[in-house]
Amino acid sequence: MSDSGNKIVRKAIGEIGKTDETRYGADPHEAWCSEFVSWVYWKAGYPFSGGPSGKSWLLSDVKSIKKWFENNSTFISKGNADWHKFTPTPGDYVCFGNAKKPRSHSGIVEYLDSNDTLHTIEGNPSSSDIVARKSYSNFRTNTNFTKWVQGLGLRCGKRIRIPNGTASASSSGDNRQPRKAFDQNSGTWWRNRTNQSGQQYLQMEWTGKKTITKISLEFGDHYPRDYRFFFKKGLSREVSIWVPSTKIENNHKKNRAHAWFHPMKDVWGVRLKCLRYSKDDYFSVMEMVIQR
């Protein structure tokens, strides 16, 4: 469990059995599942933003929480291409619903067991007016519950800024500099000056093994239409190989593109290889954030 996931789950467990919905910021006698989730994340030190004045951490409906994840992290909806690859971890967000109301209830992941049963902690489940544990067998496909899992949001995870690492690239250029590259050095950046159609790359290597679950990218004005991630894996940084992972095709997200992976353990480096450009002269990356 990540540091943030441990804090979130521990805070949620401490609320099990409590019944006062106003404790979590909800109006009296109203459904308060989303308020409970907002309150737990806030108290654990990982608050939402964009709520009402004086309670910016408070998002009081499922639609608002889903939008927050889409804008600030990662939200995987049922039916998404990554739905069967996304492995929820403790502290993540769960969106519940049914055919008539696909976004009607919120919860927090406690853990996923070896039988693919999702265990959650929820406020006011099934209008029970308490905080309680629930479980959902075969959660990716099972629709036998009153409300079933419709989506998942990556809330936990720790940003890795990679101390003691080195950044490198296949080529560079003149004056198109990003604000900050993924090593936090504004002098490190990447550009292809030779009008090649692809195969340029940027990469970061570090001195200790890491576990990676997500990478966020902010591209410059020119960005790769198709690109792929590679992870450096092996016994050591020197004795290792670059292993290909997720390929993104027909990319159109200039700002804040997100790529989510099965937890990749024992990683010594990450390489982003450009396979096709939006324009034929270069691509640039403003920022690259790695999470675990």
Do residues 195 and 147 both lie within one domain? no
Measure the CA–CA gap between 34 and 63, rounded to whole angstroms: 10
Please tell me the predicted confidence (pLDDT) of residue 257. Answer: 73
- Listed residues 124, 153, 182: the one ending a domain: 153
Give the CATH number of the domain where residue 146 resides: 3.90.1720.10
Do residues 190 and 103 both lie within one domain? no
- Listed residues 93, 128, 153: the one ending a domain: 153
Do residues 18 and 121 both lie within one domain? yes
Do residues 127 and 184 both lie within one domain? no
Do residues 9 and 134 both lie within one domain? yes
Structure tokens at 184: 């936090």
Do residues 201 and 76 both lie within one domain? no
- Listed residues 153, 180, 212: the one ending a domain: 153
Kindly give the confidence (pLDDT) of every residue in the chain, 292 residues in length, as a single tens digit, with 9 standing for 90 and above. 456 788 999 999 999 999 888 899 998 888 999 999 999 999 998 899 999 988 999 999 999 999 988 877 778 899 877 788 777 889 999 999 998 999 999 999 999 999 999 999 999 998 788 999 999 999 999 999 999 999 998 776 555 555 567 777 776 555 444 445 555 555 555 555 444 556 778 888 888 888 887 787 777 677 778 889 999 999 888 889 999 988 888 887 766 677 777 778 889 988 888 887 766 556 666 666 676 6
Please tell me the predicted confidence (pLDDT) of residue 287. Answer: 66
Give the CATH number of the domain where residue 163 resides: 2.60.120.260
Do residues 136 and 165 both lie within one domain? no
Do residues 147 and 201 both lie within one domain? no
Sequence-ordered list of residues with C-beta below 8 angstroms from that of 35, at least 6 positions apart, any chain: 21, 24, 25, 26, 58, 60, 123
Do residues 113 and 176 both lie within one domain? no
Distance from chain centroid for Cα 124? 26
Do residues 30 and 142 both lie within one domain? yes
Residue 177 burial (10 A CB sphere; 0-12, 13-18, 19+)? middle
Sequence-ordered list of residues with C-beta below 8 angstroms from that of 91, at least 6 positions apart, any chain: 1, 2, 4, 5, 6, 7, 8, 9, 44, 46, 108, 109, 155, 156
Measure the CA–CA gap between 237 and 207, rounded to whole angstroms: 7
State the total domains in the chain. Answer: 2
Give the torsion sign (CA, 186, 242, 226, 88): negative
Do residues 217 and 131 both lie within one domain? no
Domain that includes residue 198, residue range: 159-291
Do residues 20 and 141 both lie within one domain? yes
